[in-house]
Structure 1
Amino acid sequence: MTDSSDQPSIDSRLFRDVLGHFPTGVTAVTAVHEGQPVGMAIGSFTSVSLDPPLVAFLPTKDSGSWAGIRAAGSFCVNIMAQDQMATCGVMASRADDKFADVEWRPGPTGAPIIEGSIGYIDCTIEAVYDGGDHDIVVGRVVELEVLDAKDPLLFWKGGYGTFA
Structure 2
Amino acid sequence: MAHQGMVSAEELRSAMRTFPTGVVALTSVREGRPVGATLGSFFSISLRPALVGFSISRDSATWRSIGRSGRLGIDVLAFDQESVGLALAASGDDKFEGISWRWSDNGLPIIDGCNAHFECRVENCHRAGDHFIVVARVEEVRRLRDVPPLVHCDRNFHQLAVVSAHYAGS
Q: Structures share a fold, TM > 0.5?
A: yes
Distance 1:156 1:82, change over 3 A: same
1:95 and 2:95 correspond: no
Query: TM-score, normalised to structure 1's length?
Result: 0.92
Q: Secondary structure at the match of 1:83?
A: coil
Q: Report the RMSD for the aligned CA atoms in angstroms.
A: 1.2
1:42 and 2:39 correspond: yes
Aligned length: 158
Q: Deviations over 1:26-72 (max 9, x none)?
A: 00000012211100000010011111100011110011121112223
Supply the distance in 2 between the matched residues of 1:82 and 1:25 (Cα, whole angstroms). 10
Supply the distance in 2 between the matched residues of 1:29 and 1:132 (Cα, whole angstroms). 20
Q: Secondary structure at the match of 2:74?
A: strand
- Gaps in structure 1 of 5+ consecutive residues: 1-6
Supply the distance in 2 between the matched residues of 1:113 and 1:21 (Cα, whole angstroms). 30
- 1:14 — aligned with what? 11
- Moved runs in structure 1, 4+ residues, more than 3 A? none
Q: After the TM superposition, which residues 5-154 of structure 1 pair with which residues of structure 2 at under 5 Å, given as runs?
A: 8-154=5-151
Supply the distance in 2 between the matched residues of 1:108 and 1:73 (Cα, whole angstroms). 17
Are the equivalent residues in 1 in contact too, given 2:73–2:119 (CA < 8 A)? yes
Task: Report the identity percentage.
Answer: 38
- Gaps in structure 2 of 5+ consecutive residues: 162-170
Supply the distance in 2 between the matched residues of 1:109 and 1:60 (Cα, whole angstroms). 26
C-alpha displacement at 1:116, in angstroms? 0.6
C-alpha displacement at 1:108, in angstroms? 4.5
Structure showing the higher helix proportion among its residues: 1
Aligned residue type for 1:20? R
Distance 1:67 1:146, change over 3 A: same
C-alpha displacement at 1:117, in angstroms? 0.3
